[in-house]
């Protein structure tokens, strides 16, 4: 072959390659496809900086439909013959767009197995009955179950399902003017129901429209989750839920196959945040980070919502989303021996995720709970005896959060989340391979919902500067944060020099002290300081069972004593 012919052939192939490349509908990066993970192949979530330019920005793209999900976040449907990666890169490069991402898939985090138990061992393990001695919850507290729906006609759930008193069922009118039509017993946000083959948002009226079956469960997962968090209790029927009185708000965002998409989870969380729902249960997972999901989680947290989410069932050190987010309680699963559940305990089926992002663990295997009534659920009856996974662990924490909301009505969501973590039992000793990776440990209702943890003490000294031989008056204020009065047989303080521990004999007491709900009790004690050194003040009480409770202490130098922080 001569050189001239070789050059002609080379140029031909080069030009052909360029033609094929620039006319291809697929855009590749140097290391393969731009978009990874499981997502809806014809949808993107786009957050616009300025909504006035949305139409012009999308006019040059092959977009079939756009839907305003929330606060300027749009779900954009790409034309069937268009490549989603091409559209993604074009939008991502536009300075008028805050962010663009795939509509990632989410799915339930359940893992039922074949072992059956006839009792709810989990309630004894987390000391639920001791917690119930203090509170059984409040009917004004609401728990949103964002899941596959809930069988709200179930015999052990029916009276616990939230009723929107401002809405008239089935009249097709947004009676309470909250932007959601017929949200009488929750709402169905899932995209793809027979009643609403597209996202249930009417752009003409700017309102969401519920379908005729509302948030009824067509899978069973959501019903199982709801039963653990809040089944009717003390009624001689079925199972006991963690919170006896809180109302369950079914928000359907997953379909009959147990999966859904970020867009549906986002609008469900926003509904909870905007409708005064205190607790959100997310027994679902996504492998992929989503800006849209993190943004709505932070929005809900900012409005005081407590979110509990499943860590995942991959037996991995990678806590999945949304549990991985900072403002979420990430929940792992343990067994009756407080061991992290591993594949060896489930016949190789699953193991609980763990890691530094985990906050607490809760029972998550062989759980007894509600199932879809009759056939159609996991079983052929009204109850299931072997529900599990971090999906089953999470509603234990959601139920605990609702109880705490009732017991400490003035507490913020941050304070309640902190109490759940600080009240947990450390279980590292029985999980040596996971030491430091199981959060604060397994939840304990007795410790978290206790009168000892219901109070805080603060200290003031007069005068504030202390000299040897001088006398100071210690004024100690004890505050009751709970919703009930607290009575002590004795309440007092002690001040000791260089003492590592306190002894009731050192105390000066007031006898038969009652502190009303939300009230303060002030105790004063005079002390002469005769030696140099570090002094410690203890605040303690004798409860009605003759147990001494430490209500706080402070280490102080006699030269400067600062007020004790509340805790």
User: What does the block give as tokens for 334?
Assistant: 């343990």
Q: Is 221 a catalytic residue?
A: yes
Catalytic residue among 127, 147, 292, 373: 147
Q: How many Cα atoms are found within 13 Å in the side-chain-facing hemisphere of 58?
A: 24
Measure the CA–CA gap between 256 and 221, rounded to whole angstroms: 9
Catalytic residue among 283, 391, 458, 556: 391
Residue 566 CB: number of other CB atoms within 10 A? 12
Catalytic residue among 221, 264, 295, 553: 221
Query: CA–CA distance from 134 to each of 1, 215, 387, 449, 524 (Å)?
Result: 94, 33, 28, 7, 29
Residue 86 contacts residue 26 (beta carbons within 8 Å)? yes
Residue 203 CB: number of other CB atoms within 10 A? 10
Residue 121 CB: number of other CB atoms within 10 A? 16
Q: Where are the alpha helices (DSSP H) in 28-175?
A: 54-58, 84-92, 121-125, 128-132
Residue 333: its H or E element: strand 329-334
Q: What is the DSSP string of 392-413?
A: HHHHHHHHHHHHHHHHSTT--H
Residue 420 CB: number of other CB atoms within 10 A? 26
Q: Is 139 a catalytic residue?
A: no
Q: Which of the 8 DSSP states describes residue 292?
A: H
Cα angle, residue 384 at apex, residues 271 and 220 outer, rounded to 5°: 35
Cα angle, residue 539 at apex, residues 536 and 544 outer, rounded to 5°: 150
| Nearest partner of 455 among 541, 326, 368, judged by Cα | 541
Strands 455-462, 471-480: pairing kind: antiparallel
Residues with a known catalytic role: 147, 221, 391
């Amino acid at each position: 072959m001569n050189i001239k012919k070789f050059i002609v052939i080379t140029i031909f192939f080069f030009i052909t390659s360029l033609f094929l490349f620039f006319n291809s509908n697929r855009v590749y990066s140097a290391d393969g496809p731009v978009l990874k993970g499981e997502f809806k192949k014809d949808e993107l979530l786009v957050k616009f900086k300025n909504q006035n330019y949305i139409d012009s920005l999308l006019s040059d793209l092959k977009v079939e439909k756009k839907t305003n999900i929330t606060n300027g976040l749009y779900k954009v449907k790409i034309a069937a013959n268009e490549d989603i990666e091409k559209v993604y890169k074009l939008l991502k490069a536009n300075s008028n767009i805050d962010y663009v991402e795939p509509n990632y898939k989410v799915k339930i985090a359940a893992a039922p197995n074949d072992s059956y138990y006839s009792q709810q061992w989990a309630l004894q393990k987390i000391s639920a009955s001791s917690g119930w001695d203090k509170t059984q919850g409040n009917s004004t507290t609401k728990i949103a179950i964002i899941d596959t729906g809930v069988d709200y006609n179930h015999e052990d759930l029916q009276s616990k399902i939230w009723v929107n008193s401002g809405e008239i069922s089935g009249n097709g009118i947004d009676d309470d003017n909250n932007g959601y039509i017929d949200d009488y017993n929750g709402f169905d946000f899932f995209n793809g129901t027979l009643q609403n083959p597209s996202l249930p948002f009417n752009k003409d009226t700017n309102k969401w429209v519920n379908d005729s079956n509302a948030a009824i469960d067509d899978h069973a997962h959501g019903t199982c989750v709801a039963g653990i968090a809040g089944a009717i209790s003390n009624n001689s029927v079925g199972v006991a839920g963690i919170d006896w009185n809180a109302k369950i708000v079914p928000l359907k965002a997953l379909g009959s196959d147990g999966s859904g998409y970020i867009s549906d989870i986002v609008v469900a969380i926003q509904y909870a945040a905007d409708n005064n729902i205190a607790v959100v249960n997310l027994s679902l997972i996504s492998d992929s980070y989503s800006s849209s999901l993190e943004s709505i989680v932070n929005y809900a947290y900012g409005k005081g919502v407590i979110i509990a989410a499943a860590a995942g069932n991959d037996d991995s050190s990678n806590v999945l989303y949304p549990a991985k987010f900072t403002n979420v309680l990430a929940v792992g699963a343990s067994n009756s021996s407080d061991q992290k559940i591993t594949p060896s305990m489930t016949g190789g089926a699953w193991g609980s995720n763990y890691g530094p992002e985990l906050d607490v663990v809760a029972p998550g295997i062989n759980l007894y709970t509600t199932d879809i009534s009759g056939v159609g659920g996991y079983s052929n009856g009204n109850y299931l005896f072997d529900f599990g996974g971090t999906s089953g662990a999470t509603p234990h924490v959601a139920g605990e959060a609702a109880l705490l909301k009732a017991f400490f009505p003035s507490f913020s969501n941050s304070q309640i989340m902190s109490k759940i973590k600080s009240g947990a039992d450390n279980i590292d000793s029985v999980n040596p391979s996971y030491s430091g990776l199981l959060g604060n440990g397994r939840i304990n209702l007795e410790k978290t919902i206790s009168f000892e943890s219901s109070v805080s003490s603060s200290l003031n000294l007069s005068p504030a500067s202390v000299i040897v031989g001088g006398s100071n008056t210690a004024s100690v204020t004890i505050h009751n944060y709970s919703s009930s009065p607290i009575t002590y047989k004795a309440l007092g303080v002690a001040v000791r020099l260089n003492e590592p521990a306190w002894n009731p004999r050192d105390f000066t007491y007031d006898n038969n002290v009652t502190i009303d709900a939300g009230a303060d009790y002030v105790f004063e004690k005079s002390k002469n300081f005769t030696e140099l050194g570090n002094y410690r003040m203890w605040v303690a009480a004798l409860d009605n069972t003759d147990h001494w409770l430490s209500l706080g202490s402070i280490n102080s130098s006699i030269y400067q004593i600062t007020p004790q922080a509340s805790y």
